[in-house]
Amino acid sequence: MEPLDALNEVAFRLEHERAPGFKVKAFRRAAGIVETWSAEELAARLADGRLKSTKGIGDRTFEIIAQAAEGRVPDYLADLRARAGEELDPVGAELRALLRGDLHAHSDWSDGTTDIRSMADAAIALGHEYQALTDHSPNLKIAHGLTADRLEQQLGIVAALNEALGGGDASGFRLLSGIEVDILEDGGLDQQPGLLDRLDVVVASVHSKLRSDRSTMTRRMLAAVDDPHTDVLGHVTGRLVEGSRGTRPQSEFDAAAVFAACAANQVAVEINSRPERQDPPDDLIRVALDAGCLFSIDSDAHAPGHLAFLDLGAARAAAAGVPADRIVTTWPLDRLLAWTARNR
């Protein structure tokens, strides 16, 4: 096994287990160091003992590199593989196989843990045809939301990355530009309209005043869904059902009215795959189904390993009986982009 692959897989699996960031960091850092060495350089450092004293290589990462270099699966990785969750049930697996990409993920430009390239590489490794990069908007200061200037700068980086990957053709993968834009208290979107017009995908989400009364929240969400820039309504209820941030009840709003507006505007209702969100709840997925909504199964990844949460979203959508054709992330890229361009 290649030491670099072993380190990357360890990091990916720890992220998927939602291990704390500091725990994962050592492995990503070591991978970054090993990546700069040729196979000969690595072998020489192993042979003469320099590897052990290399800054950024600790006991655990050394052990992984050494065991991988011996041509075997490192013990630490074998343990991680062994405790990975059960396989998807057949219905969930069937739907998961139809998913071509993911419209919601963060990089270290906002509150993600890794750079844009690492997210794209992980999406490619998962077999995605496209991955949207949707960092936060300025209002979400705690998550270092992107100002218009920073988003503009990021657009240049996304374009350059796609160019480096072969212009979206040769590699069969494209990183989509995007944003997870805050739905402000008046229902407006927290970014310049001219800039939103230029993005491939706009996910609009509520991140503040989640406990507003029902009519206030309904008005706010309806305004956001009626905004011609909105493509996906993110984690619709804001609930947290488990995890390190504790639990949070779902926000109160007129789901029938909001989902009717989503259907009328062809705004996809997000099935947020994060284990701690599982949003919307099952009963609301049914309301959205009956309303005729489109859906998007998204990871809301904040680290490469989180991209694999799509399995959970696919299982929930399959269990709820959502037809594959109503899920925009089963669509080929050209159909997907024609849909997001409908009002641009």
Which DSSP category does 316 fall into?
A: H
Least distance from C-beta 236 to Zn ion, angstroms?
11
Least distance from C-beta 318 to Zn ion, angstroms?
23
Shorter beta-carbon distance to Zn ion: residue 276 or 300: 300
- In the region spanning residues 205 to 264, those forming contacts with Zn ion, defined by CB under 5 A, are 205
**Tokens read off for 5:** 């692959």
Shorter beta-carbon distance to Zn ion: residue 8 or 205: 205
Closest CA to 18 of 322, 303, 335: 303
- In the region spanning residues 142 to 201, those forming contacts with Zn ion, defined by CB under 5 A, are 180
Segment contacting Zn ion by CB under 5 A, of 32-40, 158-166, 241-249, 299-307: 299-307
**Tokens read off for 14:** 């720890």
Shorter beta-carbon distance to Zn ion: residue 195 or 232: 232
Phi and psi, residue 267, nearest 5°: -90, 130
Segment contacting Zn ion by CB under 5 A, of 95-103, 259-267, 295-303, 327-335: 295-303
Shorter beta-carbon distance to Zn ion: residue 67 or 205: 205
Least distance from C-beta 312 to Zn ion, angstroms?
15
- Judged by CB under 5 A, does residue 300 bind Zn ion? yes
CB 173 within 8 A of CB 209: no
Least distance from C-beta 313 to Zn ion, angstroms?
13
Shorter beta-carbon distance to Zn ion: residue 208 or 215: 208
Cα separation of 114 and 92, whole Å? 29
Shorter beta-carbon distance to Zn ion: residue 31 or 204: 204
Least distance from C-beta 154 to Zn ion, angstroms?
15
User: How many chain residues touch Zn ion (CB under 5 A)?
Assistant: 3
Amino acid letter, 311: D
Cα separation of 264 and 116, whole Å? 34
Least distance from C-beta 106 to Zn ion, angstroms?
6
Amino acid letter, 33: I
Cα separation of 52 and 291, whole Å? 60
- In the region spanning residues 197 to 216, those forming contacts with Zn ion, defined by CB under 5 A, are 205
Cα separation of 176 and 103, whole Å? 8
Cα separation of 110 and 178, whole Å? 13
Least distance from C-beta 22 to Zn ion, angstroms?
21
Phi and psi, residue 178, nearest 5°: -175, -170
DSSP code per residue over 57-76: --HHHHHHHHHHHTTS--HH
The residues that touch Zn ion, with contacts defined as CB under 5 A, are 180, 205, 300
